[in-house]
Amino acid sequence: MAAANIVEVIGDYVTLKRKGANYQACCPFHNEKTPSFVVSPSKGLFKCFGCGKAGNAVTFVMEHEGISYPEALKAVAKRYGIEVKEREMTEEDIRRNDNRESMFALNSWVSQYFIDYMHRDQAEGIPVGMSYFTSARGFSAKTIEKFGLGMCPGKGDQMTADARKAGYKEEFLLATGLTIKRESDGRLYDRFRERVMFPIHNISGRVVGFGGRTMRTDKSVAKYQNSPESEIYNKSRELYGLFFAKKAIQQMDYAIMVEGYTDVISMHQAGVENVVASSGTSLTVDQIRLIRRFTPNLTIIYDSDAAGIKASLRGIDLVLHEGMNVRVVLLPDGDDPDSFARSHSATQVQEYIAQQAENFITFKAKLLLQEAASDPIKRSEVTRNMIVSIAQIPDPVQRSMFIKECSRIMDVDENMLISEVARHRMMSLGDTEAEAFIRRQGQQQRRQSGGYQQNYGKPQPAGNSEEATRFGELPLSASAETLEREIVYYLLKYGSHKYERLEGGIVVEFQTAREIVRELDKDGIAFTNPTYDKILTLFRNTLAENRLPGQSEIVNNPDPDVCSVAVDILTLDDNYAESAIWSQRDIRALSESNMLAEGVPKLLWLYKSRMVLARIAELNAALASNPTEEEAEQLLIELSRLNRLKVQIANHLGRAII
């Protein structure tokens, strides 16, 4: 948003100090003592050179508040009195929106009602509700206030009656589930009567539902009861405590997952605030993605109940599938997170977590093997179980590491695990995803085995041309993603710049962005990194309109990932870490024109070589999987074409590609 003064917007959240043309502060997204968070008012951008967070005013609010891009855009627009035009709402939209706001208003009123009742009622609120929180749970007055704890009266319809007197409609009392209507006589009564109350806040801090614990000793009464799902509350999309934990999660760069309300509250009171709870339900994709907004790292704390641990293991596969890094901490016998936090200081809790945390895959393998012992049938079941979990991991490097680790722990052949993990992933993916997976799997197997047994297109000796001497061999660390980032760097920094090059004895002028897009489109190449591919697509689309995207169009892109990458590159300046591609010669020491004339073609050929090698690896893997005669013939035809292309690339690079 061009009208937003980024210094004013970010200044509402952190204390900025001027340093030259920019402003500095300690980063609000991670703990640091020396300021590395820089705001550029001239560019309208921010970047932390410590944790890497970068963006504009809108994405800052989005990250800091943990809200969606449209919500952040509206928040910034409101600050400047700018109207954000949306599509015209239908009558149904207006009705639904009004109903939601009415339900939010009711929940807010009821939450305060429960608080007031517990603090003021002499017969039940103070001696029963307050006593439970302070004496039985050891919560301080500050903690009780922070989490908005309260109590619902024991009289069957007192809360409902008081809400009606306050002007709240029956339809919303029923819609939120606060009130239940008896079918036999139509009588209204309170769902949470005689329970201490835990309000459930959404990520923005609004009360969307409640959890209530009974104070009755009758074992036929459920100990905990939650609000039913409604227009504003979906238990699969909420995490208890996230509103209070999100800042600490960002700063610590990991979230702790526990089971219940009191686990979260006791941990917070102990000073460990990066804690949330699934409230006794299995983790859902929506909950995982909520955490993913703030960190890719999740630590799950279990008590020593083996049955409970086994029951929750299945849900962790979802976390792995979403690309999260999962670690597990097992508490001492007899402890749960609530009791452990109450008997230890914040430092002791954090030290225990740091010392005991174990990656989930290893933890699961050891746990299941303990039960299987030496029974070969049970051990084979454990192996299949582990294959399913490892197959969920999207990152091929992590998969490779965990395959090696499981092979060691379970004494199972590593190549068998590789093959079975690949087969399982293929069975669970759609056609488009499967094609991308085959490419990645081929790269992974090539790294692990040093090449396939087939000898299609044996590499030739490396060339000794002047170009090979100048630029050196492509290092193994220059992955496809590294090369894609380098291409995006050229698009963003030099897209509009021109350079000249000899083509068939004639001096030809090229524009950087147009040449990059032309060369990639010629071979039908899309980037493997989705964010880089979005940036490439943006350039492709604007070039089709005979223009290039302006800097504002890129850094204010509605996709926050595009914005973050673009800002990260555009604010590099002197902080740019030289790519390993140019490790044997600082190509940027040349004049800009010469740098582009040499660097752009070189980079594109290097990238094409990676794509060709990846595709050859895919085809070799396919040939090794016993294809039909017709399929094998088609594979060999394409292998022949790619090997010819390898020769062409090698001629351009002045060296063989392996």
3-class SS at 270? coil
| Residue of 630 and 432 predicted with greater confidence | 630
What is the distance between the alpha carbons of residues 220 and 521, in angstroms, rounded to a whole number? 68
pLDDT of residue 459: 30
What is the distance between the alpha carbons of residues 98 and 170, in angstroms, rounded to a whole number? 15
Q: What is the dihedral of CA 246, 251, 257, 263, to 10 degrees?
A: -80
pLDDT digits (tens, 9 = 90+) for 480-513: 788 888 899 889 888 889 888 777 678 788 889 9
pLDDT mean across residues, the chain? 81
| Helix spans in 526-628 (H) | 530-544, 551-555, 560-570, 592-623
DSSP string, 81-106: T-----PPPPHHHHHHHHHHHHHHHH
Could you identify the residue written with the tokens 């752009």?
A: 600
| Residue of 184 and 141 predicted with greater confidence | 141
Burial of 456 (0-12, 13-18, 19+ CB in 10 A): middle
Burial of 355 (0-12, 13-18, 19+ CB in 10 A): exposed
| Selection from 155-159, 197-201, 554-558, 649-653 with the highest mean pLDDT | 197-201
**Sheet of strand 54-55: strand arrangement:** 17-19, 22-25, 37-40, 45-48, 54-55
3-class SS at 631? helix
**What residues contact 211, with CB distance under 8 A and at least 6 apart?**
197, 198, 200, 224, 225, 226, 227, 240, 261, 279
pLDDT digits (tens, 9 = 90+) for 202-242: 888 899 999 999 998 888 889 999 999 999 999 888 999 99
* Beta carbons of 440 and 396 less than 8 angstroms apart: yes
Both tokens assigned to 358: 């174990």
pLDDT of residue 590: 57
| Helix spans in 194-329 (H) | 242-252, 261-269, 285-292, 306-321
Measured from the Cβ of residue 3, the count of other Cβ atoms closer than 10 Å reads 11
**What residues contact 207, with CB distance under 8 A and at least 6 apart?**
104, 107, 108, 110, 111, 148, 199, 200, 201
Q: For 343, what's the count of Cα atoms within 13 Å in the CB-facing half-sphere?
A: 10
pLDDT digits (tens, 9 = 90+) for 157-198: 999 999 999 999 999 999 999 999 988 888 999 999 999 999
pLDDT of residue 430: 46
Angle at 464 between CA 461 and CA 470, to 5 degrees: 130
pLDDT of residue 341: 92
* Beta carbons of 62 and 72 less than 8 angstroms apart: yes
Single-letter amino acid, residue 229: E
Full set of structural domains in the chain with CATH = 6-79 (3.90.580.10), 99-233 (3.90.980.10), 242-356 (3.40.1360.10), 466-653 (no CATH)
pTM above 0.85, yes or no: no
pLDDT digits (tens, 9 = 90+) for 54-100: 888 888 888 877 777 777 887 787 776 666 655 555 667 667 778 88
| Residue of 363 and 83 predicted with greater confidence | 363
pLDDT digits (tens, 9 = 90+) for 378-406: 889 889 889 989 988 888 888 889 999 99
pLDDT of residue 440: 47
Count of positions (residues) in the chain: 658
DSSP code for 205: S
Burial of 77 (0-12, 13-18, 19+ CB in 10 A): middle
Over range 131-145, report the average pLDDT. 96
Rg (CA), the chain: 30
